[in-house]
Each structure stands twice: as structure tokens, then as C-alpha cells.
Amino acid sequence: MVLRGLVVFVMLAVLAFFSFFWAHEERLTWFDTRPVLAAAAKYDATVIRDRFGVPHITGRRDADAAFGLGFAHAEDDFATIQRAFLAARGRLATLDGSGATENDYFVQVLGIWDAIATRYASDLSAETRALLDGYSAGGNLYAAQHRGQVLPGFEPVRGQDVAALFMLRLPMLYGLDGQLRALIAGGTTKIAPDPTKTRGLAFAVAPVRSADGATRLLINPQGPFQGGLSWYEAHITSGEGWNVAGGLIPGSPVVLAGAGPVQGWGIAPNHPDLIDVYALEGNPNDRYFYRFDGEWRRLQNREARVVTRVWGPIRITFRREILRSIHGPVIRNARGLFAVHYAGQDNVRAVESFFHLNKAQSFEAFTAALAEGSIPSLAFVYADRTGRIAALYNAAFPARSEAYDWTRTVPGNVSADLWTSYLSASSTPRAVGPANGFVLAAGGSPFRMTADPFNPKAENFPASQGLEAAQNNRTRRALALLSADRAITADKFRSYKFDLCYTPDSDFAVAVKGIAQQNFAGDPLLEEAGEILRRYDLCTNKTSRGAALAVMTAMPLLQASAAGLPRPDAVATLRATAGRLLSDYGRLDPAWGEVNRLRRGSLDLPLNGGPDTLRQTGIRTRLDDTGKSVAEAGDSLVMISTWPRNGAWQIESIVPYGSSHDAGTRHSADQAQLYADDRLKTVPVTAAAVMAEATQIERPGKPAPRQPGIARPAPVAAPAAVSIGVTRPAAATERANSSVRREGQ
């Protein structure tokens, strides 16, 4: 009995302990809302939701419109936005645990908040800081009104958080995270970025190439369907000339790819050589000194502290040294000291340059924004209502000495080897207004932006820029389709975006052919698999009987090569794929749509497309427990902007699920069927068209009367009750009511 009583006592004590700390963690979600509400009162924006829930945001000032954007995006994906800003602060691991420790360490290693402290007020214009303050106030207002949704450790957002988030994200697009990871793991060499990690697509046709004389632009940023890099659609206008419909990711106060009445742009990640690794000569008598220009200099050093959630309220703190030389961040490993110097280092102005792109009203203003050099990478495709088109391989190329092979680690002991400036923007490859009437960017070589002879010439650019030479299937296929069509109709333009095939000379096709041509005599399973691959037509439509076997076999091989790893054995991979398909489907050639699925909750739809097709679908290379490859990434946003020869600007778009990431709300999956069918929806862009589709109108932080004169939209898939006036989705209302009840307890 005594032992039993002791066990009960210990259990009660443990329960009391965790109850106390869980209660403490709950209190971490509370913050003083009075300053937040006071800040919000300075702004006035109107958010009108169309029939698909896409927010159309207006404000007298740019800052007012940004305020409305911050509030609207929080309504649709507040949890992800909070995580984005926790990541920017280097505190994501306090919530997400060990999976986020690397992010938090990188924030400290890169010295992002040191740069913010010294440069934010001086380097950003007053207009940009006002924009960031407005955006922050909008998100904070939502947090104050929905305190039950506030995550532990989250604090009201500041403009500095937004700038820090851009500083963290942009260098990762060209591979900085991979380089840091390699050095931390004990490497000594400079590594090439993996071009398959980030993808995007954009192309444009000029009136000379259009059957109807229109200018058309495809905007197709790609990425994960949820999380910190998922794309969100919005339309923003202000009385100060901001008018853009397009896409952005959580934490962005501006459109990152989009179009307006005058012009538009799409983006695709590029992978130039923008990172250098310097081997430092350490002092054998003092580990905190390195030789530079014949003198011993002391490394700046301090301790990184990464607080990591282990379980429930239990958190531990990891400590690791942070070093910095005149070059930049320094990693110490068993092989020595290695400094990293990269494009955009300590530059806080990236968000300002994107804001300038949003406000540009001419090609000259657009290129001037890129010439600021604060967006370190990304290829751009530009188009405008005058019919001008351009492909611009944007990059902040270091002005490097020609004395070294910069693809390798270089000595870091003399100032002559340390670059401190960048080449001019005119040194980047570009194709402006080519006579053949089309341009593209798809993550491939910048010397294939259009058809020859209008492409930039490789010999005009120094090897030190590290420009890509390889071609991916998206570039090959887009060039083939656009080059063959001298009068591109609107329908053909859309069909090219949703093209499903690989070219015969693509890496994928070569890999499949190599596997299919092997001799499998005597092995019935592989003989049948080889025959299927030999008959495969290299396309990824839902009904294809060869795509499942081909894609699931070839992609692990290609992904390994892209990551610089040895390819797995092709025959063993084919055998494993064939065995799994036979087990799950009773045949080696199930329809691709049976395997390739779009899922969210009870939603389960077949998808077209595959990796590196123009209709991009990111797949898992291993089937899940149900034998499916559920799409997790790909075409996160598809938009087509049209400027007719005689007529008003038009936009069509689609996203994978819907405008809301809040499961159970009306707009969490109302675009899914259209997406799965490769169809687009019309986006209202005039005030009259927006009001004709309005299903909800609100002025965040201010009362707004009901407006019964608003026309109800035409029925859409999975219709729900239409609400008019200052309302919120039912699920959000329930959460808000729940929050109020908790506060009253």
C-alpha cells in the first residue's frame, strides 16, 4: 500500500508539474493588445472577398493597403505566418522542436539581426518602413482579435521582422543553406546548388507572336502547397498608385510575382555562383585569431543559443559558438576555419526593391528596381501593355578577382581576394524585345531565354559568374512549343502551360530509355516492366499507363544526381517500383491518376503532371501506405495576364486548394477540382467586377454596415452560405467565440 501510495503521489506531482508549465505556456500566448489596437486605428483598408475568397484590398495609402493585406492573409493562414516570423527571429525551434534548430542557428550565424539593428533605419526609405509598419499592424490586429490562435512565444510583429524574413529567405534560393550545412558537417569545399530544390516558370508572348495581337504573360511560381514558402493570391490597390494582382508567401507585404493594368512579371529561381568559401589561416597559439594582410586579426565570437522544444512545455538550450571574420560568417570544423561571403550579405533592402517592382509603371522603372542589386538572384520575365517583353537573368554578381578558380575554396588571407562590390546590372544575361516575340525563364541556362539568334551568348559573360549551362525539361519543352507556333491563341497559351510531356532529349527521357534497353531476359517481372517503359510515350496525363512506373523509377536516380550523390542502382530501383505497383494495384501499369493525387482532408483527386514538366507536380519518390504519391509541391500558383490589343487588362488564375488554409472553411478547397482539371478561374480586377462577385466586405478594425445590394456570385463547387458585410468564416467565428470564453474563465 505504501508503494502504491508513493506511485500515486509521484504521478500527481508530475501531473501538477506539467499542468503548471502548460498553464505557463498558455500564458505565453497573451500579450497586451492595447498598443496593437492603437496602432491599427491609424490605418483604414477595405478587404473584399470574391466568390473564391481571393482578397481584393484597397486603401488610400500604400501603408493602408499593406495593413489590409496583413489582416487578410492572417485570416487565411495565421499559423503559417506566425511560424514565418518565429523563423525570422531565430525562435522557430521553441515551437517546432529539433526540426527547426538549423533555421534558428542560421539566423544567428548570418548575423541577420545585427544588420537589422544597424541598417534598418538608415538603409530603408521612410515609405518602405511605413509599408512594413502597416503590414505588421494588420497581422497584429488579427492576433489581438483572435488570441486563441496565437502560438506560444509569438509576439506582435514589427517592420524589422519583415525585413529579417527577406534576408533569411532570399540567399537560400541560390543555395546558401546547403553550403553552410556542408561546412558544418566537416566539409572544406565549395558546393554547387541543387537546381531541383527551387523551381518556377514564366513566359511571355508579344503581339507579333499572338494570333489576336495581345500580349500575354504566364506567372507560375512553384513550391510547396503549404508551409512558409506556399503561395497566396491577392489583389492590392491604393490611392498612391499601387495596383497589382499576384502571389506572395507568408510574411511578405508585397506581391513577389504578379501583374497590373500597365505591366507584370513572373519569376523563376536561378542558380548563379553567388557564394564564396575562404580558407582562413588560424593562429596555432590562439584559436580566435586568423591571418589577414600579414597581421593576426581576432575573430568576432559569441555564443549562439537555440532554445528547442522537446516535448510539451519542456525546452532545452543548445549552445554553439558563432564566429565572424572580415569576410563574413565563419564555420570552424575539424579541418579548419572557413569563412563564407555571399551576395546580399547584410543587405536589408530586398523588401524595398520588391516594393519598387510593385509600383513600377514602365520598363525603365522596373529595371531600375532590379539594378538596385538588393534582390540577389531570381530570373524575371517581364511584359507590359505596350507589347514589350523581356527575360532578365537577375543576379548580384560579385566583382571577383580573375586570379582564382572561384568554383573552389580560395585563400582568405589577403584583402585583394575579398570582393567588396558587384558587377553592374547590365552584366547579366537578358533578352529584351526579341523579334521572334517570346521569352521564358524556367530555371535552365540563361542562354536559352528565347530562340536563336536572339539569345545572349555565353562567350560574353565571364566564367566567374557561374551561369548555368544545363537544360531542364521545362526549358526544352517550352522552347519547342513556343518556337513551333507562329500565331499563339489564348487557348494554346494556356495549353502550353499545362503541357504534360518530356522531350526525347531530356534527362528524364534518357534515364528511362537507358533502363528500358537493358536485357531482362529470364526475369518475368522486369521483362514486363522493360516492355512498359519501351512503349511509354513520355507524357504524364492521368490516363497514362506508363507514367507511374517510369516516373517512380527514374526520379530517384535524377534526384540523386542533382544533389551530387551516387545514383541508386537502376535495376534494383525498377524492381522495387514494379513490385510495389504490382502489390498495390495488381498490375505494373496503373493509370497515373490512380497514383498521383491531390489530397486535403477528405479531398482526393487525380492529378496530371510530373516533376520537371510544364505542368509541374512534385511527387514523393516512394509511395505512401495507400500506394499513392500525394502531391506536396508544384504549381503553387498559376496566373495568366493578358493585355489585349484593344481592351482592358485581364487575369486568370488557380491555386492548388483554395485561398484559405483553414480546413473546413468555404474556401479551403473550392479551387481543387479546377486545379486537378488544369483549368483557370477569371479574376475580377475592376472595382465593378470585384463588387459584382463580392461575398464578404470588411474594414479591419472598423465597423462596416451590411450592404444588401451586393450581387451574389454564381454557384461554385461545394457552395456554402454567402455572407455579406463584416463577417468571418464560421470556423473563425467559433475560434473567436472560444477565445472570448477562455478569457472570461
Residue 167 lies in a domain: no
Residue 535 lies in a domain: yes
Is the pLDDT score of 681 beyond 90?
A: yes
What's the rounded mean pLDDT across residues 420-443?
94
Confidence of residue 742 (pLDDT cuts 50, 70, 90): very low
Confidence of residue 21 (pLDDT cuts 50, 70, 90): very low
What's the rounded mean pLDDT across residues 648-671?
93
Residue 616 lies in a domain: yes
Is the pLDDT score of 680 beyond 90?
A: yes
Contact 132, 161 (CB under 8 A): no
Is the pLDDT score of 734 beyond 60?
A: no
Confidence of residue 67 (pLDDT cuts 50, 70, 90): very high
Of 495, 598, 502, 480, the residue nearest 550 (C-alpha): 502
Residue 722 burial class via C-beta count within 10 angstroms: exposed 0-12, middle 13-18, buried 19 and up: middle
- Strand arrangement of the beta sheet that strand 438-441 belongs to: 438-441, 200-205, 215-221, 638-643, 650-654, 681-683
Contact 343, 171 (CB under 8 A): yes
Helix (H) or strand (E) holding 220: strand 215-221
- As for how many domains the chain has, the answer is 1
> Residues 81-110: pLDDT tens digits?
999 999 999 999 999 998 999 999 999 999
d(CA 366, CA 509): 38
Residue 109 lies in a domain: no
Is the pLDDT score of 725 beyond 70?
A: no
d(CA 122, CA 518): 64
Confidence of residue 291 (pLDDT cuts 50, 70, 90): very high
Instruction: Give the SS3 label for residue 623.
Output: coil
- The grid coordinates of residue 274 equal 553567388
Any idea what the Cα angle at residue 75 is, between residues 74 and 80, rounded to 5°?
A: 45
Return the pLDDT at 711. 41
Residue 544 lies in a domain: yes
Question: DSSP secondary structure string, 537-550?
Answer: -SB--TT-SSHHHH
Whether residue 715 is preceded by a cis peptide bond, meaning omega within 30 degrees of 0, is no
> Residues 143-199: pLDDT tens digits?
999 999 999 988 899 999 999 999 999 999 999 999 999 999 999 999 988 888 888
> Residues 692-718: pLDDT tens digits?
999 999 999 998 645 545 544 333 333
Return the pLDDT at 626. 84
Is the pLDDT score of 665 beyond 90?
A: no
Return the pLDDT at 268. 97
Task: Supply the mean pLDDT for the chain.
Answer: 90
Tell how far CA 148 is from the center of its chain. Answer: 28
Residue 612 lies in a domain: yes
Residue 182 burial class via C-beta count within 10 angstroms: exposed 0-12, middle 13-18, buried 19 and up: buried
Is the pLDDT score of 739 beyond 80?
A: no
> Residues 342-396: pLDDT tens digits?
999 999 999 999 999 999 999 999 999 999 999 999 999 999 999 999 999 999 9
> Residues 506-561: pLDDT tens digits?
999 999 999 999 999 999 999 999 999 999 999 999 999 999 999 999 999 999 99
Helix/strand/coil (H, E, C) string of 410-437? Answer: EECCCHHHCCCCECCHHHCCEEECCCCC
Return the pLDDT at 412. 95
Return the pLDDT at 194. 82
Confidence of residue 226 (pLDDT cuts 50, 70, 90): very high
d(CA 161, CA 157): 6
Give the range of the structural domain holding residue 544, as residue numbers without chain letter: 507-634
Is the pLDDT score of 464 beyond 90?
A: no
d(CA 109, CA 228): 21
Confidence of residue 622 (pLDDT cuts 50, 70, 90): confident
Share above pLDDT 70 across residues of the chain, in percent, rounded to a whole number: 90
Q: Is 410 left (phi over 0), alpha (psi -120 to 50) or beta?
A: beta
Residue 98 lies in a domain: no
Return the pLDDT at 717. 36
d(CA 393, CA 399): 17
> Residues 201-221: pLDDT tens digits?
999 999 999 999 999 999 999
Residue 523 lies in a domain: yes
CATH of the domain at 530: 1.10.1400.10
What number of other Cβ atoms are within 10 A of residue 668's Cβ?
23
